[in-house]
Structure 1
Amino acid sequence: MRRTFAVLTVLTLGLGGVAACHGSTSPPKAAPPASPSPTALPTDPAAALRWAAGRTKAAGSAKIDATSQSPAGGTPQVVKAALSWSGEGQLNGVITGSPGLTRFSSDGTVPILITGGVMYVRMTDPKALAQSQGRSWLKFDFAELAALAPGSGGADFGNVMGSLLKQLSPDVELRALAGSTGLATVGPEVTDGVRTTHLSGTLTPQQLLDAMPGLTAGQRAEIVQQDQQAGITSETVDVWLDVRGLPIRTEDHAASNLGSFDVDRHFSDYGTQVNLTTPDAADTLDLAAVLKACGSGCTGGGSGGATGGSI
């Protein structure tokens, strides 16, 4: 869904880096066993999606290849990653095609890590590294950012991103789609070389919000405000489920004031292990700490300007 992809594409901010210190690994989970035939899916589309949501949540992890296209057009943004939605969630991957990130990368590819409610963004551009005093990772601790002064750019950004990290699992969208308008089974199709059943429906922003787990009242209010400002009225969602009830592909088209925001996600290797190494503290610039230290002297809130306006 578009907000899941926003976790990976809203990186129009600071710095980045080189790995170091202690490692973290999501334990591998065995994907649910394959059913003997496509008839294993319930014939009722709502029942099929509810069943698939449970199977997907239990799988725990997968590899994802996601492409996003904004209404403004231009170069699509692409994320390739290993993603775990067990516990607080983990992600190890790269993003390309993001206009806000190309100035921080020497080759247009930006590594990103997510673990324990914290996101790290790596920077390889020599000029950006010089401006960051040689530290090559920017740390976004969203709980720390959300605790900053209310109304500040950092606090708003922390609240929004903290809510987004709670919906990394594709089962959130499947549960929401089960109650969507005009839900229908399109039929059997081969997708990415896999036999699937194609289902389609239309969601309202409220239906999607109702399916999101663990949000605070403040986070819900932030999401509602975002949707209203963007003029989002509906989101058409297509899902391709394999015989195990696992999504092989999801496609989203969110209508807004500016046009359609499109996201195409492909999943594979369910139960994959997500390996990542948390960047060393000495090689990391903590955005929340910077904002606390500079107070009103910071410009740009949760953006690159939060480092004092040098980037």
Structure 2
Amino acid sequence: MGFVVRRSTRRRTIGAGLAAVALAAGAVSCSKGESGESPKMTPAAAVAKAAKNSDDITSLRYRMTGEIPEQGRIKGEAAMRLKPEVAMSMKMTAPDRADGSMEIRFVDKAMYLGGNAEMAKEMDGKSWMKFDLSVLGDEALGGSPGAGQAEQNPAAESTFLTGADDVKKVGTEEVDGVETTHYRGTLTLDALRDSFKDEDKATREKREKSVERYEAMGIDKLTMDMWIDGDDHTKQFRMKGDADKGPLDMTITFLDLNQPVTVEAPPAKDTVDLAEMMQEPGES
């Protein structure tokens, strides 16, 4: 292979993409309806019902905006398929970074990062970097937390607010033209773990992976907001926490759900395989 990629550049690029993908996994569901609350339903019950409704989601499209520890501000829009197998396509920008424009695709258990001019310069003009999540671990990827989270069902994090014991109604608000009821609560990661201890094994494992990702950031407490529509689905979701290396503050707005999502791998001729690249002599 006729090029050498600096390790620092590679880690910085991968870290930005993985952080976005990992936090994008907060996706739940969206639906259009009238104001989202039953007069007889408590805030905790309303949140639990919306979380339960996320079980039926097979695909979704969403917008994300906010701030990630170390990476700064990010904005993105994505489409994700959850069944029969996970696939995702996201376009993301990080305004605080010189190399902050990127496209991310996840298909056939491989992640592709592209659309970044600085990265292409490091790879002799090839515009995509590939790494196989089943082969490359977090250490090989520069220690970026949550590398495997791209395969996680994004509906898992919709259940987090059900673990809070202080859920309250904030008010009614319109989100993207949809009338919603806004709820808020706080919870520690210990309380979050306790909230899913009685779930089935598969559910516990999925939620435990999410908890571990936040632990890796140095977060031990989350403030969470949910905007629930008249069909008892989450229209918008916000997660905030103080991490070791800066604040986490992400908002996910859901655009549609259960619509066809197709994701294709980039052309092989435009792609560099990270596993092969890491074996090249002269890298430092």
- TM-score where L is the length of structure 2: 0.73
Cα deviation, residue 111, structure 1: 1.7
Aligned residue pairs: how many?
A: 255
Cα deviation, residue 284, structure 1: 1.5
Deviates more, 1:41-50 or 1:274-283: 41-50
Distance 1:287 1:281 in 2: 13
Letter of the structure 1 residue corresponding to residue 113 of structure 2: V
Cα deviation, residue 36, structure 1: 7.7
Query: Per the alignment, do residues 249 and 175 of structure 1 end up closer, same or farther by CA in structure 2, a change over 3 Å counting?
Result: same
Kindly provide the CA deviation profile for residues 242-298 of structure 1, in whole angstroms up to 9, marking residues without a partner as x. 11222111111112345532111111122232222212233221112323x24xx67
Matched, 1:117 2:100: no
Check the 8 A contact 2:71/2:94 in 1, yes or no.
Answer: no
Distance 1:57 1:244 in 2: 14
Check the 8 A contact 2:163/2:192 in 1, yes or no.
Answer: no
Instruction: Tell me the equivalent position of 1:187.
Output: 171
Query: Per the alignment, do residues 273 and 179 of structure 1 end up closer, same or farther by CA in structure 2, a change over 3 Å counting?
Result: same
Matched, 1:196 2:180: yes
Q: Any residues of structure 2 matched to 1:123-142 within 5 Å, and which?
A: 123-125=115-117, 128-142=119-133
Which residue of the other structure, out of 126, 134, 146, is the alignment partner of 1:143? 134
Which residue of the other structure, out of 60, 63, 66, is the alignment partner of 1:62? 60
Query: Per the alignment, do residues 152 and 110 of structure 1 end up closer, same or farther by CA in structure 2, a change over 3 Å counting?
Result: closer
Distance 2:230 2:207 in 1: 35
Q: Any residues of structure 2 matched to 1:234-245 within 5 Å, and which?
A: 234-245=221-232
Query: Per the alignment, do residues 199 and 215 of structure 1 end up closer, same or farther by CA in structure 2, a change over 3 Å counting?
Result: closer
Letter of the structure 2 residue corresponding to residue 94 of structure 1: K
Letter of the structure 2 residue corresponding to residue 132 of structure 1: M
Instruction: Tell me the equivalent position of 2:146.
Output: 160
Instruction: Tell me the equivalent position of 1:253.
Output: 240
Instruction: Tell me the equivalent position of 2:3.
Output: none
Distance 2:214 2:255 in 1: 32
Q: Any residues of structure 2 matched to 1:35-114 within 5 Å, and which?
A: 38-39=36-37, 43-70=41-68, 76-97=73-94, 102-103=98-99, 109-114=101-106
Instruction: Tell me the equivalent position of 1:226.
Output: 216
Check the 8 A contact 1:38/1:243 in 2, yes or no.
Answer: yes
Gaps of at least 5 residues in structure 1 are 1-9, 15-30, 299-307
Check the 8 A contact 1:166/1:214 in 2, yes or no.
Answer: no
Secondary structure in structure 1 of the residue aligned to 2:146:
helix
Letter of the structure 2 residue corresponding to residue 176 of structure 1: F
Check the 8 A contact 2:47/2:161 in 1, yes or no.
Answer: yes
Identity of aligned residues (%): 25
Check the 8 A contact 1:79/1:96 in 2, yes or no.
Answer: yes
Matched, 1:205 2:189: yes
Instruction: Tell me the equivalent position of 1:302.
Output: none
Matched, 1:262 2:249: yes
- TM-score where L is the length of structure 1: 0.68
Query: Per the alignment, do residues 239 and 253 of structure 1 end up closer, same or farther by CA in structure 2, a change over 3 Å counting?
Result: same
Cα deviation, residue 35, structure 1: 7.0
Letter of the structure 2 residue corresponding to residue 281 of structure 1: A
Deviates more, 1:175-184 or 1:199-208: 199-208
Instruction: Tell me the equivalent position of 1:289.
Output: 276
Check the 8 A contact 1:82/1:272 in 2, yes or no.
Answer: no
Distance 1:268 1:41 in 2: 26
